[in-house]
Chains A and B, each alone.
Chain A
Amino acid sequence: MNSAKHVLFESWCTLLSLVAALILGGLVLLYIGASPAHVYQQLILGAVGRLDLLNETLAATTPYLLCGLALSLAFKAGLFNIGAEGQLFMGAMAAAIVGRYMTTPYLGACIVLLVAFGVGMFWGAIPAWLKIRFGVHEVINTIMLNAIAFAACTYVLKLPSIRLNAATPQTADVARQAQIGALKLGGLQLDRGLLIGMLIALGLWYIIRRSWVGFEIRVVGAQPEAGQTAGISERKVLFWVFACSGGLAGLAGGFFVSAPAHPYFQMGFSPGWGFWGIALALLARNHPLALLPAAFLFGMLETGSGQLQLTTGIPREIAYLLEALIILFISSRIFHKQLDPHGKYTHA
């Protein structure tokens, strides 16, 4: 099978899914009495129409990218990490608590990120261990662990030594030396988390495509029995992939709480990046590099919908509804079946 043709076919189906989601979303907008063309125009202008908005969009892309990477890494090994949101919360909370004391420049920021990654890893390792030790499917366990993480974070935020006397319970600020600002290029501000996320995407692409570890991951995801015959330890691969997936989600939290704009942890900080990571991984077909434009699209919808609500009063949830429709069209593989009824391109 021609690989270029395969990529082209997948891109074409993705594009059709996006258009279909926009059309259905447009019908919903018509139903509530808004002009779809106007709303979509405002969405785009609100995301990239001005330099400051573009900067905001770039910063908003980072957590989407890292969570998308977390999910697609897990999907590669055949794992459903629905628990990325919990791992994100645990990583962010731990990073914010530790970050308060990190007053050494550079080293402090590194420790904050390492803590976020490590705690996310730990939270991802729990369902991994339960899967390989007891054979429990990870989907239900990760959902339970999300709820437990939310409860744990709420509890920790109430502790007198952690809680700051603010309107909403939040941790103290991450030390100024450990905060990670954006890289300034003229008026453009490139979020450093985004840059590192892009490097991780490149690294993951290389590892999955070109290295022995990546081969093991793909074999476990596609044909675990064949892997066992070839001497690949399925348990080891599953455990470490799940842990690293959790680590990436935790890292997203670490970057968020070390940004100078909001250097603290509070409960409402995430619009559900961990869950949108599932949609992103689907959208990008688990390809680390395809995640870059996908995450940027979601970042655009995030910033654009905020502006839309400000200017037109249409609830920003329209963006999440659009994202949900995209994932629905892609997951149903309706365009794959319509355009390619014999599966010529899908099993490349």
Chain B
Amino acid sequence: MLDAFLALQTYSFAAIQLTSLTALFVVTLSAALPLLLAGLGGLYSERSGIINIGLEGMMLGGAFAAGVTSFWLPQHTILGPWLGLAAAGTTGLILAGLHAYVCIHMRSDQIISGVAINILVAQGTVFLSMYLFGGKGGSPQVNTLPEWAIGPFTITPILLLGVGLLLLSIWSIWHTPFGLRLRACGEHPKAAQSAGISVQKIQFTAVLISGLLAGLGGAVLLNEAGRFGKEMTAGRGYIALAALIFGGWKPIPLLGACLFFGCAFALKDQLSVFIGFSIPSELLSMLPYIVAMLALCGFVGKVHAPASLGKTEQSH
């Protein structure tokens, strides 16, 4: 975690000089995108009643898989980063499968399982990357996805993917039979079961989707950084969860919360440029976290959590 924090200090958006509000918007967007993907993952999982603290580990695992895939493939293949994206999603799926098995099938504690996954991935990726890349546990520079410049904006395939997945999530959770069943499992699993829904199957699917999305979020992060670093997610999985709660477990407010946290991340490097006098960077780096804590205290109004969130025993 300390390494993660230090990584956040050094790996930031310092490379981009913020000279205008447009630039701030661009940085906000790129900081918000991994949060949004992980947050959407959390949305599926928690709407079905399963807490997924393991988002952090699934993101990190995704970032690692994407980095290794890009690194292993010949440097000239443009396919590398795309396959990396697929590998990241797959890694997220596998880790989520583990979480789902432990939480739903074994009915173990959901938070402990998530924490275990986070610790396993944090230590496992460091060990494996020390073995693969040597040194302090980071990868060399890898190929990243293409960018298309349109005016002052750069459109990345990932941005399109993020928007697409957001729309897909809204549609699938609110306008399909699957979404209705998903929400029923999170609110009142016994009622859902009486209606003939297989609660376990729905929850398993939801957790798998959440891992897939979190893994993709990790790949996005890797794509922005250009290389894998030790604990490079730096708590973004947790911030995504905070954004999910902040957004009241709804996709559009979730998007707003992610942009808000993204803006806090972007501002932490550049706030002094805007306000004209300098604030120590360490104090500014607290900003996203303090904002998250205040947000959770309900200074944004009461939110309604899925009624059966975290209570697996009840669903059987």
Q: Give chain A's interface residues, CB within 8 Å of chain B.
A: 28, 32, 80, 82, 85, 130, 134-136, 139-141, 143-148, 150-152, 154-155, 158, 267-268, 270, 272, 275, 278-279, 282, 315, 317-318, 320-321, 323-325, 327-328, 331-334, 337
Contact = CB atoms under 8 A, between A and B. Distances in A.
Given A134-B298, A328-B116, A151 B5 contact: yes
Contacts of A82: 115
A236 to B, nearest CB: 21
21 contacts: A136-B298, A139-B111, A147-B5, A147-B235, A150-B5, A150-B6, A155-B283, A272-B2, A278-B112, A282-B112, A317-B126, A317-B127, A321-B120, A321-B123, A324-B116, A324-B120, A324-B123, A331-B109, A331-B112, A331-B116, A333-B108
B37 interface: no
A139 B116 contact: no
B2 A268 contact: yes
B1 A85 contact: yes
A32 B131 contact: yes
B238 A143 contact: yes
Contact of A130 (B130, B235, B283, B297): B297
Given A144-B292, A333-B106, 15 more contacts: A80-B111, A82-B115, A130-B296, A130-B297, A141-B296, A154-B9, A155-B282, A155-B283, A158-B280, A272-B2, A275-B119, A278-B115, A318-B127, A320-B123, A324-B123
Interface string B246-288: 0000000000000000000000000000000000101101100
Contacts of B241: 140
B14 interface: no
B290 interface: yes
A25 to B, nearest CB: 10
Contacts of A337: 106
Contacts of B126: 317, 320
Nearest to A134: B297
B244 to A, nearest CB: 10
Closest 9 CB pairs of A and B: A155-B282, A144-B289, A320-B123, A317-B127, A324-B120, A331-B116, A150-B5, A315-B130, A324-B123
A268 B282 CA distance: 16
Contact of A146 (B1, B109, B115, B285): B1
Nearest to B112: A331
B242 A140 contact: yes
B83 interface: no
A331 B282 contact: no
B26 interface: no
A135 B293 CA distance: 12
Interface residues of B, number: 44
A151 B116 CA distance: 25
Interface of B: 1-2, 5-6, 9, 53, 101-102, 106, 108-109, 111-113, 115-117, 119-120, 122-124, 126-127, 130-131, 137, 235, 238, 241-242, 245, 280, 282-283, 285-286, 289-290, 292-293, 296-298
Contact of A148 (B130, B289, B298): B289
Most buried by A among B109, B112, B119: B119
Contacts of A315: 127, 130-131
Given A147-B286, A317-B127, A337-B106, A136 B238 contact: no
A134 B109 CA distance: 24
A301 to B, nearest CB: 12
Q: Is the interface of A mostly helix, strand, loop or mixed?
A: helix
B106 A334 contact: yes
Nearest to A157: B282
Contacts of B53: 139
A147 B126 CA distance: 20
Contact of A140 (B1, B131, B238): B238
Given A136-B296, A140-B238, A152 B282 contact: yes
B120 A147 contact: no
Nearest to A141: B293
A154 B116 CA distance: 28
Contacts of A328: 116-117, 120
A130 B292 CA distance: 13
A226 B127 CA distance: 46
Contact of B282 (A85, A139, A151, A278): A151
A291 B119 CA distance: 20
Contacts of A146: 1, 5
Contacts of B109: 331
A147 B237 CA distance: 13
A187 B286 CA distance: 47
Contacts of A268: 2
A331 B2 contact: no
B272 to A, nearest CB: 15
Given A130-B297, A272-B2, A331 B102 contact: yes
Nearest to B293: A144
Most buried by A among B1, B6, B286, B296: B1
Contacts of B116: 324, 327-328, 331-332
Given A85-B2, A267-B2, A321-B123, A130 B282 contact: no
A30 to B, nearest CB: 12
Nearest to B132: A32
